[in-house]
């Protein structure tokens, strides 16, 4: 079941974050680390009702923040469309639930929320070393737009967009 996250989910979310950081480290992906994301990011997301979780019989299968906040760095890219967009941030799948469609379900939620809000554009980004997320975005119909420098990281972030029908 997909639902909005609650403060009771924070411990599980942070456990997934820590497991994701460890896994990312196995392929030298430093997108997430001890500085980002922090518990305070998720508390703010919950306060704004922008954090969604997939609850599988009381266990979190994954989470994503979905809102209309575009990083300042997006402004210099050649997006295909102008206008309000929904943006996917801080998304992760619990390692125990990998390869079960959790990531696709979270991305499809963004499509559904956009349709409900009559928004035609979805945007997101991921670190250039995060090939798993890049593959998921492409699988879900997103197209590559360009690269940005972000969060003081050494490598580029790849940005993607999708038009919602």
Find the domain containing 14 and state its range: 2-163
CATH number, domain at 79?
Answer: 3.40.630.30
Q: Which two tokens stand for residue 71?
A: 């990083």
What integer pLDDT is reported at residue 53 of this predicted model? 98
What integer pLDDT is reported at residue 165 of this predicted model? 81
**Taking the model in full, what pTM does it have?**
0.94
Q: Which two tokens stand for residue 93?
A: 């799948």
φ/ψ bin of 83: left (φ > 0), alpha (ψ from -120 to 50), beta (otherwise):
left
What integer pLDDT is reported at residue 153 of this predicted model? 85
> How many separate domains does the chain show?
1
pLDDT tens-digit profile, the chain (165 residues): 999 999 999 999 999 999 999 999 999 999 999 899 999 999 999 999 999 999 999 999 999 999 999 999 999 999 998 899 999 999 999 999 989 999 999 999 999 999 999 999 999 999 999 999 999 999 999 999 999 998 788 899 999 999 998
What integer pLDDT is reported at residue 104 of this predicted model? 96
């Amino acid at each position: 079941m997909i639902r909005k996250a609650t403060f009771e989910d924070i411990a599980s979310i942070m456990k997934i974050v820590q497991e994701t950081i460890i896994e990312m480290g196995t392929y030298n992906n430093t997108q997430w680390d001890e500085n980002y994301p922090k518990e305070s990011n998720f508390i703010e997301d919950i306060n704004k009702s922008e954090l969604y979780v997939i609850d599988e019989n009381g266990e979190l299968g994954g989470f994503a923040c979905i809102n209309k906040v575009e990083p300042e760095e997006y402004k210099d890219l050649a997006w295909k469309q102008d206008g309000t967009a929904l943006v996917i941030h801080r998304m992760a799948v619990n390692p125990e639930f990998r390869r079960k469609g959790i990531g696709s379900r979270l991305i499809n939620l963004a499509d559904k929320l956009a349709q409900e809000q009559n928004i035609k554009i979805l945007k997101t980004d991921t670190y250039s070393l995060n090939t798993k997320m890049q593959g998921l975005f492409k699988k879900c119909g997103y197209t590559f737009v360009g690269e940005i420098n972000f969060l003081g990281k050494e490598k580029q972030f790849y940005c993607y967009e999708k038009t919602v029908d």
